[in-house]
Amino acid sequence: MMHLLLAGCLGLAVVLLPGVAAGFEVHGTVVNGTTGQPAGSIKVKIVDPRHGMVTEDEIETDSKGSFVIEDLDEKISIYLLQVDYRGVTYTELLRPNDEEHRHMQINVYETTPDWDDVRVSIPHLMTRRSHDTLSVDRIFTVSNNTDPPRTIVGENVGFKIYLPEDRLRISSLFVTSLGIPITVDPKPTDTPGIYEIVYPFKPGQTRVGSSFDVAYANEEYAYKEPLQYDIEEVVILVEDPSMEVTSATLDLGEEKEVRGLKGYHIESLAKSTVIDLMFRGGEAQPAPSSSPSHQIVTLDDPVRNASIIIIVGFTLLLVLLMVFGARSPSRGAAAEVLASRKDALLNQIARLDDLFETGTVSAQLHRLKRSELVNSLSRIIYEIEKTRSEKSKTAKKQKGAAHAR
């Protein structure tokens, strides 16, 4: 008994010694999300994103797809676990959170070149005038609804995107991975103005974003985008409310103001339909001081170039949150939307902090974007409290009216 007591005291003393950091373990399984069965023997990479995506270790699962990773440094805030399957890399984010053990499941999928079970929408098509140029920002939401779930990948089956031939430059072109925008390189097709993004579209939602500039010297621009897919909805936003937006072929519907942005909503556009828009007028705005250099950055080193695209990604996220929040039809729905926006902003702040800790985002960019996100979060919390107060007052009035009867 004395030996056991001494051993226990020694163990406790080691744990309490300052500067001694106990490693943590990860217990996980790699599962084939298409079949629902364990993926079998497969390699798992442990990547440290802080030092240029360095692979710290590589282990192999057993025949049931199970693995154990030992002695990871709990002081490192983020690890990435990566598995290559059928030519596609699947990544899961691992945050120790001061836990001794972690239990994780990494899903991999069979592949298909078929786009039949994909739904596409354009929840963000925004214009901004800067002197004699017009900037156009778009976000596509690509929903892979394959059943059973499969990753869409293959030769000549990338996502088709329109980039006007008369563009002056492309400011950014990215897809989202783990919620983080990653730059991609458009591949020209045989059709002028149509490019292909070669990227594995995994089950669930992937967002594709682009920003480009066109000449606006005569204070007008005819935008004509031939749709490559059936589009469930398009939300058109104009930063300057004095800019006129018309269409000779589309019913833009009722104009809406979304926190200073003029907006239009179009539903159900068939493939090959042309988004025919004429932009006129508007006040020339100065170019933002933080605007990125005009270039296309390839996937060769996404971490090194992520800061440029993260600026665009977080800005577009805030606009999307505003758009969807403004479309809530009732007080109950408004409360749900506000709660959803609050959670989304909290997640974005946490992700931005993670990027800063790994050295992906500079201190200046982290401070700037975090301030914007926190300010937006403060407004959302204020609106939530205001909604609760109004709901409470309404309930008291109804109760008082009931007693009066």
Condensed to tens digits (0 to 9), the pLDDT of residues 87-102 reads 999 988 887 765 666 7
CA 121 and chain centroid, separation: 15
**338/331 Cα distance (integer angstroms):** 10
Backbone phi, psi, residue 227, to 5°: -75, 135
**Cβ atoms within 10 Å of 283's Cβ, excluding its own:** 10
pLDDT of residue 12: 35
SS3 354: helix
Q: How many angstroms separate the CA atoms of 346 and 344, rounded?
A: 5
CATH of domain 118-297: 2.60.40
Establish whether domains 16-108 and 118-297 are of one fold: yes
Q: Quick one: pLDDT band at residue 324, thresholds 50, 70, 90?
A: very low
Query: In residues, how long is the chain?
Result: 405
| Residue type, position 35, single letter | T
pLDDT band at 19 (very low <50, low <70, confident <90, very high): very low
Other Cβ atoms less than 10 A from the Cβ of 254: the count is 7
366 close to 352: Cβ distance less than 8 angstroms? yes
Alpha-carbon separation of residue 221 from 29, 80, 136, 274 (angstroms)? 53, 45, 11, 15
Tokens of 65: 């797809």
CA 311 vs. chain centroid, Å, equals: 12
Mean pLDDT lowest among 119-133, 189-203, 280-294? 280-294
C-beta separation of 341 from 234 below 8 A: no
pTM, full prediction: 0.67
CA separation for the pair 57, 72 (Å, rounded): 10
pLDDT of residue 43 exceeding 90:
yes
CATH code for the part of the protein at 16-108? 2.60.40.10
Residues 369-374: what's their mean pLDDT?
71
Domain boundaries, the chain: 16-108, 118-297, 328-398
Residue 10 vs residue 256, higher pLDDT: 256
Give phi and psi for 144, each to the nearest 5. Answer: -85, 105
Burial of 355 (0-12, 13-18, 19+ CB in 10 A): buried
10 Å CB burial of residue 208 (0-12, 13-18, 19+) is: buried
CB atoms within 10 A of CB 133: 18
Structure-model confidence comparison of residues 348 and 364, the more confident one: 348
